[in-house]
């Protein structure tokens, strides 16, 4: 949801569906590091959960790769930088939101250069339970909290961007 809301500030209405799909996918990719747990990678390791895939360097690299793949046609000429910026912010938003929850393990924002884990000073979001445990009473409480603390502000941001963009259009274009 965060990536979709952020997309409204980077792209005018009518972008191809792949723009929105790429943003949402980039926002989810960092949690693929959970596979490392199943392979025996320890929690605090740089390759473990909330390690390098949650870093700003990973967000920049993934954004570059996805932006290159999406923008090979001429329709993106002059807008590749904005596409990269959107995909970077969408990917990085995952780590930022994780750093705002009450988990025991912080986020390695600066990996691979610094493996330390960080939290933001304000941590109101309850950590979600893994896998099928998400579909439990605790999972429902987490979902409700995320609706209030992530989805609602994201929707307000998206609406504000749409309204601001409409107001900024010249009157002739609105007619």
Tens of pLDDT along 99-154?
999 988 999 999 999 999 999 999 988 888 776 667 888 888 888 888 888 888 88
Q: How far is CA 22 from CA 19, 27, 69, 107, 109, in A?
A: 5, 9, 10, 23, 22
Mean pLDDT of the chain: 86
Closest by CA position to 146, among listed 119, 161, 130, 127: 127
The conformation of residue 121, written as its DSSP 8-state character, comes to: S
Domain ranges of the chain: 2-174
Give the predicted TM-score (pTM) of the model: 0.81
Q: How much is the pLDDT for 172?
A: 47
Length of the chain: 175
Q: At a CB cut-off of 8 Å and minimum separation 6, what does 38 contact? A: none
Q: Give the Cα separation of 39 and 23 in Å (integer).
A: 28
């Amino acid at each position: 949801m965060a990536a979709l809301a952020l997309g409204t500030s980077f792209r005018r209405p009518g972008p191809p569906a792949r723009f929105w799909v790429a943003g949402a996918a980039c926002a989810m990719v960092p949690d693929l590091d959970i596979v490392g747990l199943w392979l025996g990678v320890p929690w605090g390791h740089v390759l473990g959960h909330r390690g390098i895939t949650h870093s700003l360097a990973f967000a920049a690299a993934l954004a570059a790769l996805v932006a290159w793949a999406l923008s090979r046609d001429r329709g993106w000429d002059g807008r590749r930088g904005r596409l990269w910026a959107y995909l970077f912010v969408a990917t990085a938003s995952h780590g930022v939101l994780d750093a705002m929850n009450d988990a025991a393990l912080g986020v390695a924002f600066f990996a691979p250069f610094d493996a330390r884990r960080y939290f933001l000073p304000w941590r109101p979001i309850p950590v979600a339970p893994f896998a099928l445990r998400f579909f439990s009473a605790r999972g429902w409480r987490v979902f409700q909290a995320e609706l209030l603390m992530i989805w609602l502000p994201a929707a307000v941001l998206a609406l504000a961007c749409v309204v601001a963009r409409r107001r900024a259009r010249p009157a002739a274009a609105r007619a």
